[in-house]
A and B are shown apart, each in its own frame.
Chain A
Amino acid sequence: MTHEAVERGIVAAPSPGRDAPARPVPFRGGGFRPRPLPFVPPLVFFVLLAGWELGSRYGIISNIALPAPSQAVAAFLDLVRTGMLWTHLGASLHRLVIGWTLGTALGIAVGLSIGLFSLARAGLMPLVSAIFPVPKIALLPLFVVWFGIGEGSKVATILFGTFFPTVIATVGGVDNVDRNLIRMGQSFGLTWLSIVRKIIIPGALPAILSGFRISISIAIVLLVAAEMIGAQYGIGAYILMAGSLFATDQLIAGVAILSVLGLAIAWAIGRAERYFLNWRV
């Protein structure tokens, strides 16, 4: 019996429920689809901070172990008032911007040449693979010897730390560009440079931008680590100093600054992705 036949009424559909009661088909779909709950994130923060604050005030949380949030805020306001916030933040951002920019620029350049030229791939890829897993912080003493205890060694640490993940992300992006698109470019007689500029680089851009997310968080880790070894100013130096004085309120304030810094950069990368990858959904 076909559907059409039933619809046209040629064949009578058997009436339900003469001998057995009709019941709805049990629903088994749904779920597995996260939905946005905009009021939850601020609520979690609020409850956490309020609990922490109350715990500190009533002595449940020892002030030596963890200062109250209000104390950390006071330490932060102190930083703002004395103007030291800008000194520390300025020194840190300076190192971060120079190190990360140079590291990613070199990383993209080397990644593209590995992706495009067999000689570069054969020559450089084993080197990159060998150095990539080394924690760059282990090389910091060496950088101090090479570039001095000043800015040079700190920038170099960040540069090296961001260079390798960028290379890996860029090579992966170039390798994943749809070969059919390249063949299309060749079949229309596009020049080599046009194929690279208009097909390969835009095709690798999503991978490069998601590499940015990884390299920037590595850069922040290395920044703090480098500043903990012989720096006068910088968020890392501030945290280290606070720690050695057991000024835990300042320490928490410093950590919060790092968290906000990371969030701000992630937001900026999100904007960049939306701008450059507006052709995606």
Chain B
Amino acid sequence: MRLTVENVGHRYGATEVLRDISLSIGEGEIVCVVGPSGCGKSTLLRFIGGLEQPQHGRVLVTGEPPPGSLNPLTYIFQDFALLPWRTVEGNVSLVLEDHGLRTDRARQIIDQVLARTKLSDFRKAWPRQLSGGMKQRVAIARALAVRPAVMLMDEPLSSLDSQTRELLIDDLVELWTRERFSACYVTHNLAEAVRLGHKILVLSRRPGQVREVVEIEIPLSERAERTLELERLQRRVWLSMREEARQAEMELSDDA
């Protein structure tokens, strides 16, 4: 399944947040979207997953989702969005119940995704008992349970400390190597972008426009070793957005 964004633009009241954005996400491809704060990255992601509608342009899907996919476009949120009144397995089960999967089949899926995210020992735990990294792993398990065609990740590692972030990046790389999911990965962290992205879309400050598209050829699995090359790439992306970030920093914002 491929996702194509065509000339998307949007304004909230008098503020134009996005202007003429086009991008495509191919099968098994991770596209990272970076840009200064307030450039409309998260808004773009909400358009892609159909949680909001853009005023201009459109978001298109081509091809069929893989067989057995319950929710082709699946989000992973920055704040994890776990229900505090459900246990780890209850949170995963939540997204299966509406598909009539309650019994053995659901149990199988839950066992499997918890094993894949190394959470099998914590199935009865409450979200409040888990660390930030564990919570995000539960959210990833929940996303895997519906067999997504495209993962839409909204700053998934931004509320974690840097060591947990490192660990989860390794987990995500391992997961991608096995599952070859496609993803749109929104972040403001350039180090994450160069570690995980096949393609990096650099947006300008508000109204967000595509400033540059950086393609990275190095295979994901080798990136942990080839730090020097990544460093250079990261520097290049940074230089192209530095001035924008500086100006965005000086802007007054009306929306919190």
List A residues at the B interface (Cβ < 8 Å). Answer: 178, 180-181, 183-184, 186-191, 194, 198-199, 202-203, 205, 277, 279-281
The answer to the question of B84 belonging to the interface, with a C-beta cut-off of 8 Å to chain A, is yes
Chain B residues closer than 8 Å to A187, beta-carbon distance: 49, 51, 71, 73-75
13 A-B residue pairs with Cβ-Cβ distance under 8 Å, sorted by A, are A181-B81, A183-B81, A184-B77, A189-B98, A190-B95, A199-B83, A202-B83, A279-B84, A279-B86, A279-B126, A279-B127, A280-B84, A280-B128
Chain A residues closer than 8 Å to B113, beta-carbon distance = none
B75 pairs with A184, CB closer than 8 A: yes
Residues of A within 8 A of B127 (CB): 279
Residue of A nearest to B75 (CB): A187
Number of interface residues of B (CB under 8 A): 23
Count of A-B contacts judged by CB separation below 8 Å: 51
Query: At the interface, is chain B mostly helix, strand, loop or mixed?
Result: loop
**A188-B74, A279-B86, A280-B84 known; A183+B51 contact, CB < 8 A:** yes
Contact A194 B51 (CB under 8 A): no
Tell me if B81 and A198 are in contact (CB < 8 A): no
B218 proximal to A (CB < 8 A): no
- B98–A194 contact, CB under 8 A? yes
14 additional contacts (CB under 8 A) given A187-B49, A188-B142, A279-B128? A180-B79, A180-B81, A184-B77, A187-B71, A187-B74, A188-B146, A194-B98, A198-B94, A198-B97, A199-B83, A202-B83, A202-B85, A205-B85, A280-B84
CB interface residues, B 203-252, toward A, < 8 Å: none
Report the bound CA distance from A205 to B84 in whole Å. Answer: 12
Query: For window 137-159 of chain B, which residues contact chain A by CB distance below 8 Å?
Result: 142, 146
Cβ contacts under 8 Å, A190 to chain B: 94-95, 98
Rounded to whole Å, the gap between the CB of B94 and the closest CB of chain A is 6
Listed residue (A183, A188, A199) with the most chain B CB atoms within 10 angstroms of its CB: A188
Measured between beta carbons, the chain A residues less than 8 angstroms from B75 are 184, 187
Known: A180-B77, A180-B79. A189 touches B126 (CB 8 A): no
